[in-house]
Chains A and B, each alone.
Chain A
Amino acid sequence: MKFGVVRFPGSCDEVDAQLAASRAGGTVLLWHGDRDLQGVDAVIVPGGFSYGDYLRAGAIARFSPVMGSVRRFAHDGGLVLGICNGFQVLCEAGLLPGALLPNVGLRFLCRQVDCTVVNAGTPFTCACGEGDRLSIPVKHTTGRFYAPDEVLEGMEAHGQIVLRYAPGCNPNGSVRDIAGVANPEGNVFGLMPHPEHAVDLLTGSRDGLVVFQSMRDHTGGAVAA
């Protein structure tokens, strides 16, 4: 299992993402200006402030050379995980539904939150049980997930709402407490909480590891089949 972690100018969580992914497989950094994905089995678009987040968070990054390759990779069924700014980039790129808006309280939030696994059938959550509670930190200013009601209905029906903030834990005003969503095919997943910052008890929780382990288990299973 080889994870590729994208580095944009302004990324800041790519090192932690590599560290976390290295607990489940090999890792390689993918430079934003390169089109070559180096044969990775999964791509992680990490957190940070890609291209300064000018205009809107993620709006410029989606046009980078590497994102053209990530788009094709995703269309071919490759696993793509977007964390925080990576989630914003994937929404802007149209690889995930919806958009991220400024937090309802207008503040930068940095705290541990509890999330509930709503769909344990995705490649990113298959090592979890449905209803599992994960303690994972959030750190963002623009994390309020929004999609129109008719889009949300379709997402609910197709199991695309993968992670919700636990009752009472919604930090940013996200619609329907949504913390993480997948595309209809299930191979692209974005979330605002940072699983890569929760892989060691040293920092309070290792609940985030399960995301990377799920990706490894899913990929291993696919190879065995």
Chain B
Amino acid sequence: MRARVLVRPKAGILDPQGQAVERALPALGFAGVVNVHVGRLIELDVEDASQLPAMCEKLLANPLIEDYEILEHAAVGADSR
């Protein structure tokens, strides 16, 4: 099964990368953009999708500083490789 894991900085933790992008957009003429956060996308094929949460807890994310969201095949959509 193809899965995607979205990892993002936990709410409330300063995200200077997101802030830098947020500041860059108006400089390019894109107005009205707020709450920019930069995270990580991990794509993987797994035989047993039930292992995904444990993979996230143990390696793919650091739960102290990051939230993760697992998107399995159906939600990944037709563009998945």
Contact = CB atoms under 8 A, between A and B. Distances in A.
Interface string A177-215: 000000000000000000000000000000000000000
A92 B62 contact: yes
A146 B13 CA distance: 9
A104 B20 CA distance: 10
A173 interface: yes
A101 interface: yes
A97 to B, nearest CB: 9
B65 A102 contact: no
A126 interface: no
A106 interface: yes
B14 A173 contact: yes
A146 to B, nearest CB: 6
A101 B13 contact: yes
Interface string B23-63: 00000000000000000000000000000000000011010
A148 B62 CA distance: 13
A99 B62 contact: yes
Contacts of A56: 62
Contacts of A25: none
A224 interface: no
Contact of B64 (A103, A104, A144, A147): A147
A94 to B, nearest CB: 10
A29 interface: no
A102 B17 contact: yes
Interface string B10-23: 00011011001000
Contacts of A59: 59, 62
Contacts of B59: 55, 59, 63
Contacts of B13: 101, 146
B27 to A, nearest CB: 16
A63 B60 CA distance: 13
A52 interface: no
A106 B20 contact: yes
3 nearest interchain CB pairs? A99-B65, A99-B64, A106-B16
28 contacts: A55-B59, A56-B62, A59-B59, A59-B62, A63-B59, A92-B62, A98-B64, A99-B62, A99-B64, A99-B65, A101-B13, A101-B14, A101-B65, A102-B16, A102-B17, A103-B16, A104-B14, A105-B16, A106-B16, A106-B17, A106-B20, A144-B14, A146-B64, A146-B65, A147-B64, A148-B64, A173-B14, A173-B16
Interface of A: 55-56, 59, 63, 92, 98-99, 101-106, 144, 146-148, 173
